[in-house]
Amino acid sequence: MAEPGGNALISVFDKTGIVDFAGGIHELGWNIYGSGGTAKQIGEAGIPVTDIAELVGGKAILGHKVVTLSREVGAALLADLNDADEMAEMERNNLITIEMVVQDPYPLEEAIAKPDATPASVLAATDIGGPTLLREIAKGARILSELGTQGRIVLSVAEQRQMVLEWLQAGKPDEAEFIRLLAARAVYEVARYTGIEAQYWNGDEVSITVARKVADTKYGENPQQVKAALYADNRVNIDPLGLGEFKHVKGWELSYINETDIYRLRQTSARIAAGFERNFSEVPPMAVGVKHGNACGAGVAETHSEAVKKMLEGDTRAIFGGVIMINGEIDAEVARVLMTHMMDGEDNRLLDGVIGASVTDEALELLSRKKLRVVINPALGNLNEQSLDKNRQKRFVGDAVLEQDANMFVLDFAADHMDQYGDLTNQQKRDLVLAWGVGSTSNSNTITIAKEGMIIGNGVGQQDRVGAGQLALSRTTIELPEFEDEGDSLIMKVRLDKKKLEGAVAYSDSFFPFADGPSLLVRAGIKAFLATWNTEAHKEILKEIHELGASVAMMPDKIGRGFFGH
């Protein structure tokens, strides 16, 4: 006969807080069964516990592979506690009921991630009984909670233990809904676990995505797309820069577009950091600003406030309403620069959000005056080559999924695959690294122009490379274009600032098929190029550019092409 609280089965890999939990439910009248090491740890703490093996025949068998996989445990979890006939059948067969399961399977992803992992070691680490327990208790819990009668309780992750204990101590408020959510989480954890298993054994023959809601967004890309949220599960291939690791600390709630901007900012910032670490053995303070996912400004400098100034000066018009990321603390000086640099009078710049490794109280007060979104992630304070997104890239296209390896290429001027026409100064190399980091994480086709540690023009998403170059050049000026009528034609004139462009560098995310695109850039004042080649003809085009007075660094298209975001 169960104690007043019921029978609880505890069998966990992650034993965080398990003794306190077991002690807490024991005080509430629960009778505890445990499995193997869990039972031993609870018992050594002086808490009454019965080894579940005694319930299923006296001992575990097959090297502890079979313990809870039994008729006795299955019936204990699935019997309808409110069905008199089923309860009578349980009594005739001398079977107990179990009203709570605390179980988390062995972390299969850790076994897979081990450097010496083999199919045999992964198979040995694959938990069968644990996920089965969760499915059994979750079904029993749902049956009962949906009927509004006594329900079973299932804990499937360590983080639930304190919360459930407090709920029990409070008298089980909103019991049916609480139990339903616990059961749903358990089914999710089983899906996640079996998904990891399926992915390992099937390799690239299957694509499995299992994620849970991290945060709601007000709506999707447009207000009419009402149901939208961020879903993530960063426990698989744990990524400290995953979206679920960014903490919203102040300002308006994050929107769907804010989340996509954070993702894109992470891609760009990490790639810039990787390029500087590889080529110069240091990562400078940097600031990147985006609008609609593409960088509209970026700067590197000796301090974060100076980097922010460069980022803003690159395109003061485009950054209006943008989101900024820095690889360090957001302090009062950074906040003041963000809001007032190059602004007339007392006007504050309109921004959508700022993201950094941390934020000071003074900066938070300054930024809060306009309810500016403030987001932090400590991992931003140590951006380097290891910060590149290593996850396989997925894109949902209707009811199908496109999937590809992560792009781990890092620009390296010293690599064997690099060729060069003419000399590059150290500043030109630094500017090309900055332009490469921005251009290779902007929607292609892209040409990106940089000078003295700042992006001054980013021509993204064009169908031809000449158009990308023209757009990049047009972004270097804040003057609006002029229009003139000539009969049936309307001519748009853009006045370029030659002083601003003179000595700048340009990056192209793929090869130039003809000389017209780079020739346009050289005439505007570009003095150094980074591009790829695919044929000897493309090499000749780059050689022609060098003969026009610009230095050229180039690499094979199959190694260094920077297409992104198609």
**Above 50 in pLDDT, residue 3?**
no
- How far is residue 317's CA from residue 312's CA, in Å, rounded to a whole number? 9
Distance from the Cα of residue 322 to its chain's centroid: 20
- What would the pLDDT profile of 130-147 be if each residue is shown by its tens digit? 888 888 888 777 655 555
Domain CATH code at residue 283: 3.40.140.20
254 and 185, same domain (yes or no): no
Beta bridge partners of 407: none
End-to-end CA distance of the chain: 64
Do 162 and 13 share a domain, yes or no? yes
The residues facing 12 across adjacent strands are: 104
In total, how many domains does the chain have?
Answer: 3
Stronger pLDDT, 56 or 312, i.e. the higher one: 312
User: Is the pLDDT assigned to residue 266 strictly greater than 80?
Assistant: yes
Same structural domain, 188 and 253: no
Q: Could you give the C-alpha distances from 412 to 156, 187, 384, 547, in angstroms and in order?
A: 46, 46, 14, 24
Does one domain contain both 470 and 547? yes
Mean pLDDT score, 206-214: 85
Q: What's residue 155's pLDDT?
A: 94
3-state secondary structure 473-507: HHCCCCCCCEEEEECCEEEEECCCCHHHHCCCEEE
Q: Rounded CA gap, 315 and 441, in Å? A: 18
CATH code, domain with 67: 3.40.50.1380
Q: Is residue 61 part of a domain?
A: yes
User: Which residue range(s) make up the domain with 97?
Assistant: 6-205
- Per the listing, tokens 């809001």 go with 339
- Is residue 536 pLDDT above 70, yes or no? yes
Q: Among candidates 441, 481, 446, 478, which has minimal Cα distance to 465?
A: 446
The mean of the pLDDT values for the chain is 88
- Is 336 found in the same domain as 424? no
Predicted pLDDT of residue 385? 96
Structural domain ending residue among the three candidates 154, 188, 205: 205
What is the predicted pLDDT for the residue at 64? 58
- pLDDT attached to residue 143: 58
The mean per-residue pLDDT over the stretch 263-286 comes to: 97
Question: Is residue 103 scored above 70 in pLDDT?
Answer: yes
pLDDT (0 to 100) of residue 509: 94
- The CA distance from 195 to 108, in Å, is 10
Taking residues 193-216, what's their average pLDDT?
A: 87
**Least trusted range by pLDDT, from 68-77, 289-298, 358-367, 384-393:** 68-77
Same-domain pairing of 363 and 420: no
Partners of 447 in the β-ladder: 459, 508
Q: Would you say residue 266 lies in a domain?
A: yes
- Residues 6 or more apart from 510 whose CB is under 8 A from it? 444, 445, 465, 531, 532, 534, 557, 561, 562, 563
Least confident piece of the model among 267-276, 309-318, 392-401, 441-450: 392-401
Highest mean pLDDT among 57-61, 346-350, 433-437, 533-537: 433-437
**Is residue 71 a contact partner of residue 54, using CB atoms and an 8 Å limit?**
no
Domain finish residue from 205, 226, 251: 205
- 329-338: per-residue pLDDT in tens? 999 999 999 9
What is the per-residue burial (b if ≥16 Cβ within 10 Å, else e) of 297-311? Answer: bbbbbeebbbbbbbb
Asked if residue 398 belongs to a domain, the reply is: no
Instruction: Please indicate, yes or no, whether residues 166 and 75 belong to a single structural domain of this protein.
Output: yes
Give domain status of residue 566, yes or no: no
Judge if 162 and 253 occupy the same domain: no
Q: Quick one: 200 and 276 in the same domain?
A: no
Quick check: is 565 in a domain? no
Residues 544, 441 share a domain: yes
Q: Is the pLDDT of residue 410 over 70?
A: yes
Per-residue confidence at 72, pLDDT binned at 50, 70, 90? confident
* Pair (97, 174) in one structural domain: yes
pLDDT tens figures, 8-23: 999 999 999 999 999 9
> Are 275 and 180 contained in the same domain?
no
At residue 175, the pLDDT reads 86
Please say which residue of 353, 387, 421 terminates a domain. Answer: 387
397 lies in a domain? no
Domain assignment present for residue 185? The answer is yes
The distance from CA 217 to its chain's CA centroid, rounded to whole angstroms, is 16
211 confidence band (pLDDT: 50, 70, 90): confident
pLDDT score recorded for residue 66: 58
Residue 223 domain flag: no
Q: How does residue 63 score in pLDDT terms, banded at 50, 70 and 90?
A: low
DSSP codes of every residue in 144-182: HHHTTS---EEE-SGGGHHHHHHHHHTT-TTHHHHHHHH
